[in-house]
Amino acid sequence: MAQYPMSPRHSRMLLTVIQIMGKVKIYGRANLVLGYTLAAAAALSLSNPFVMQFEGSHTDTNGLKKDESDSIDSKKRTDKEAKLRKKKLKESAKVSRAKFSNLSSDALTVAYALQCFELSGNSVEFCDDNALHLKTMEEMSKLRKQLLQLVFNQSFCGLQQEFSWTHGTAEDVERAWRVSSNKYPLLLNEEELLGQVICASWADRVAKHVRRVLASEGDIKVNASRYQAWMVKEPVFLHRRSSVAKSAPEFLVYSELLYTKRPYIHGATSVKSDWLVKYAGSLCTFSAPLTDPKPYYDPLTDQLFCWVIPTFGPHLWQFPLHGIPIKDDVHRVAVFAFSLLEGHVLPCLRSVRKFMAASPGSILRLEASGHRRVGNLLTS
């Protein structure tokens, strides 16, 4: 990550997508995936460009800019023109969010808006029509292009070559990024891949869905999804204007918490529990290997795995069963023998199981090593 002069989180996003796609020999849309990773990294580096993203925000954009004194006066004015203008801005922002919305990630929502912004013929008009902050979008666009150059200007050698992009040049990535589309261009598997990339960089900023509540504060009632964040003790909330709010996933990662009348999650991305185990294993504790379900042999990786129960973070969130490689040599030999006799290693042995004196599963019992046949098999 030291090769990239940027924050470690954003560096890890780039390195993770390069590493994942490096294992894929041929994929015609690989450059688009990298392009969206760069856009998502740029989006997570700056403030949200959508106007009035959170309730209580009175930030204006473009033709609605005011100096500080005007902002104070505007709170007192109740003239019809100001109300109509504010109402129009709200409606425009609502339509804009719906147009670019990605139900799995706020970052990918902004990334899509950025792509459309760069493809528009008139950036000022585009931001006016879609209630976006022009300056934020311009800075985001510049940052995306800078990140693209960083990816291809780094020189890696030896083992670090796995972090070199092998699916094309910077021009190929830019060309794939600039292909216009009338609908959201990413496929479901590509969205999941980008979700993993974001998860790898923000795994320590994870929150778990608790329940949906109708909260009342003063005269304002707000529908909000309540979450328990890994970093803080107090409950945090996913704002209804977040792209992820409709699905309210069980787990999500976020870029920051914004404190207004309550702590709101900003930059949310839906993640899966197995991604957290994969990319934030150091934050997990694992149970002892389970005997049920039985350990198994994976022919794709030629490895032996056992099932464990992961718990995550100080709140001890329990995740579904997870398979990890078996490290104990004695246990690994027993599991391999079991898998071999079951026909998982050599499928041709499945036909002879009915002639065996005992079930292959008996090898996994603690007392099995005392039997002569089992002992001879495991020590041969």
- Please report, in tens digits, the pLDDT of each residue of the chain (380 residues total): 556 666 888 889 999 999 999 988 889 999 999 999 999 999 999 998 986 544 443 334 343 344 545 555 555 556 666 666 666 666 766 777 788 999 999 999 999 999 999 999 899 999 988 889 999 999 999 999 999 998 888 765 554 667 789 899 999 999 999 987 777 789 999 999 999 999 999 999 999 998 755 444 443 455 678 999 988 888 999 988 899 998 899 999 999 998 888 899 999 999 999 999 999 999 999 999 998 999 999 998 899 999 999 999 899 999 999 999 999 888 888 888 888 888 888 888 888 877 776 777 777 776 566 566 555 566 66
> ∠ CA(336), CA(337), CA(341), 5° rounding?
115
Could you give the number of structural domains in the chain?
A: 3
Looking at the structure, tell me whether residues 122 and 226 fall in a common domain: no
Q: Which of 146, 178, 202 is the last residue of a domain?
A: 202
Give the separation between CA 317 and CA 310, rounded to whole angstroms.
8
Looking at the structure, tell me whether residues 87 and 163 fall in a common domain: yes
Q: What does pTM read for this prediction?
A: 0.79
Looking at the structure, tell me whether residues 336 and 196 fall in a common domain: no
CA R_g for the chain? 26
Q: Can you give the residue range of the structural domain that contains 133? A: 8-202
Looking at the structure, tell me whether residues 142 and 234 fall in a common domain: no
Looking at the structure, tell me whether residues 346 and 374 fall in a common domain: yes
Q: Which of 151, 170, 202 is the last residue of a domain?
A: 202
**Is residue 263 exposed (0-12), middle (13-18) or buried (19+ Cβ within 10 Å)?**
middle
Q: Which residue carries 């001879």 as its tokens?
A: 376
